[in-house]
Chains A and B, each alone.
Chain A
Amino acid sequence: MADTDGAQAPEHGHEGGTRRDFLQLATGAFAAVGGAAVAWPFIQQMNPAADTLALATVEVDISAVEVGQAIKVKWRGVPVFIRHRTKAEIDAANAVKPDDLIDPEEDGARAQKPEWLILVGVCTHLGCIPLGTSQGETKGEFDGWFCPCHGSHYDTSGRIRKGPAPKNLPVPEHTFVSDTLVKIG
């Protein structure tokens, strides 16, 4: 009944307290490592699966896209704009001084071949799809793309010129396999 007795919990018994504590600590640490290792697969399963990743690159045949036309292809669940630019559009893109832009970037750094502009067609503001790819759609004040959600205007290089969007339309990683075949991703 004595309170002095109670100060010592029974797990701290008579023999070698420190060695026991170390062993318990080691066991606990070992178990914790195991627990963390178990958590990994359960987190990792949320990441893209192998079949999703297999569709992460697409090859697009662009031979049928005439000058002045643009097409939309689906890539990783979002549209990619491929525009066959006219001479006038390329010149307009190059005429701007990058320093004057909201998100300064040279046109040359965005289009590997000047006549082909390839963009991820998702507005950098809040993720809507800008208009201007299909014929008849409004292209905005800078003759590129216009996002109807909050009024962002992009130019013929896909750079943001006016409106709330903070960044240019991103250029996806892509390579020209041949003159008519482009691999995106």
Chain B
Amino acid sequence: MNAIRTLLAAACVALLATPVVAAGGGKEAPARQWAHSGLFGTFDRAALRRGARVYMEVCSACHGLRLVAYRNLMEIGFSENEVKKISAEKEVPAEPNDDGEVELRPALPADKFVSPFNNENAARAANGGAYPPDLSLIVKARPGGADYLHALLTGYKDEAPAGVTVPEGMNYNEYFAGNMIAMAAPLSEEAVEYADGTKATVEQMSEDVSVFLAWAAEPELEERKRMGIKVILFLLVLTGLLYVVKRRIWADVH
């Protein structure tokens, strides 16, 4: 059917016409094959658990995860008791008490991850003027997503290329926009101890925490793809049926 082909061609043109987002100065992160990429991809559960550990033991010292609740950890395989223990290590302001004073109480699973700093100014003051961004949406908020995170975490160079001077308090990273990043290489070999016995290399931890943050940004990913497959299959059948019905109704016109 000629007309269908033109329709599809039009859709393709529309796709191609969408401009590529220009990268901001750093090297483009190489595309990786994640367990959660592709039409049927799902998150690597073990990596999620390890990545959560990396976030909580390393990243969370400076970076918040304010849109994710502790209870959400149960969706990636943490038990209720584990989650209670994790949340109880942090404190949040309670309701005003009978004297009107706001005391701190241990965080509950229903609470969101407690950010390390109360506000941006406090964060900057503690980090030499740089602001460690919240990581809840970081995978969606950076071109390249998890690829970029992984590349950034493994992209630190001890020595900047010849001719490039790295200012005091900055570090050279191939993938960061402008190459100068205030965050020092956050991961070092065996920085965390994995419960499942996996060797905590920088490469391994970068991968794991990228998976964890991909989940933090898109917790609906698995459900979305599962539903998508069903919807597309349904629509294919329906459209096929409609095509046959259309052909038959038009049979006496052509």
Chain A residues with CB under 8 Å of chain B are 10-11, 13-15, 20, 23-24, 26-27, 30-31, 34, 37, 51, 54-55
Contacts and interface: CB of A to CB of B under 8 A. Distances in A.
Interface in B94-120: 109-110
B191 interface: no
Contact of B252 (A10, A24, A54): A10
B242 A13 contact: no
Main DSSP-derived SS at the A contact region = helix
B238 A34 contact: yes
B237 interface: yes
B69 A54 contact: yes
A55 B109 CA distance: 9
Nearest to A20: B248
A105 to B, nearest CB: 32
Given A51-B110, A54-B109, A55-B110, A14 B241 contact: no
A31 B69 contact: no
Contacts of A34: 234-235, 238
A30 B237 contact: yes
7 contacts: A14-B252, A24-B245, A26-B241, A27-B242, A30-B238, A54-B69, A55-B110
A51 B244 CA distance: 46
A15 B252 CA distance: 9
Contacts of A10: 252
Given A13-B251, A27-B238, 11 more contacts: A14-B252, A15-B251, A20-B248, A23-B241, A24-B245, A30-B241, A31-B238, A34-B235, A54-B71, A54-B110, A55-B110
A148 to B, nearest CB: 24
Interface residues of B, number: 16
Contacts of A20: 245, 248-249
A23 B248 contact: yes
B248 A51 contact: no
Interface string B217-234: 000000000000000001
B196 to A, nearest CB: 28
A51 B69 contact: yes
Contacts of B241: 23, 26-27, 30
Contacts of A31: 238
B244 A23 contact: yes
